[in-house]
Amino acid sequence: MGRKKIELKRIEDMCNRHVTFCKRRSGLIKKARELSVLCDVEVGLVVFTNRGRLYEFCSGDSLLNIIKRYQSHFEGRSQSQSPNEVDTKEHEESEETLMVSFGKLLQTIQSHVEEPDFKKLNVNDMVHLENQLEASLDKIKSQRVEAMMENSSWIDNMDMAIAMVDSQL
């Protein structure tokens, strides 16, 4: 709905993409609010930019409440995949290999970080490292998700586990 019809794919021009993001983000939030008011339903919405910026909307007090409600919706059953955009990834890579390469990657990054002039690290190198780290993270996540599928009681002791890790860090 504009001067021109646009394709449904990532807008490549970064500047244009950002302008469109600003406009459509506010449009989406407006629609979410209208739906919640007109139809008397609870709506929760979160948007993460790739820079890690967060935008959110919720119809009630706090999104955390809606999230709780969402999570409790799945308690006691095996986690089913969300119907949208089902992921078909390749899980062929062995866990062993995956972890070794991830470890090496971490070492490389660590050595960079430990350098006193890390801040002067070439920005291009950082981009590359970020991308590799992200890719590794994705693979590990997908493996974890698989593990979760097999052990559906994982959510029960979540709080305890988080507390434990917190104390370690």
Binders of its own copies among residues 40 to 59 (CB under 8 A) are 40-59
- 152 binds, options DNA, its own copies, none, Cβ within 5 to 8 A by partner type: none
For 75, phi then psi, to 5°, come to -65, 140
Query: Which has the closest alpha carbon to 105: 76, 81, 128, 80?
Result: 128
The CA dihedral of 39, 57, 158, 155, to the nearest 10 degrees, is 30
> Among candidates 139, 132, 134, 138, which has minimal Cα distance to 108?
132
Cβ atoms of 35 and 57 within 8 Å: the answer is no
Q: How many residues bind DNA (CB under 7 A)?
A: 22
Residue of 10, 12, 15, 88 that binds DNA (CB under 7 A): 15
6 lines the binding site for DNA (CB under 7 A) = yes
CB 56 within 8 A of CB 46: yes
Check residue 16 for interaction with DNA (CB under 7 A): yes
Structure tokens at 49: 């930019």
76 binds DNA (CB under 7 A): no
Contact between 19 and DNA per CB under 7 A: yes
**Distance in Å, CB of 57 to DNA, minimum:** 14
Show the binding pattern over residues 23-52: x = contacts DNA (CB under 7 A), - = does not: xx-xxx-xx--x--------------x---
Residues of this chain that interact with DNA (CB under 7 A) are 1-6, 15-16, 18-20, 22-24, 26-28, 30-31, 34, 49, 53
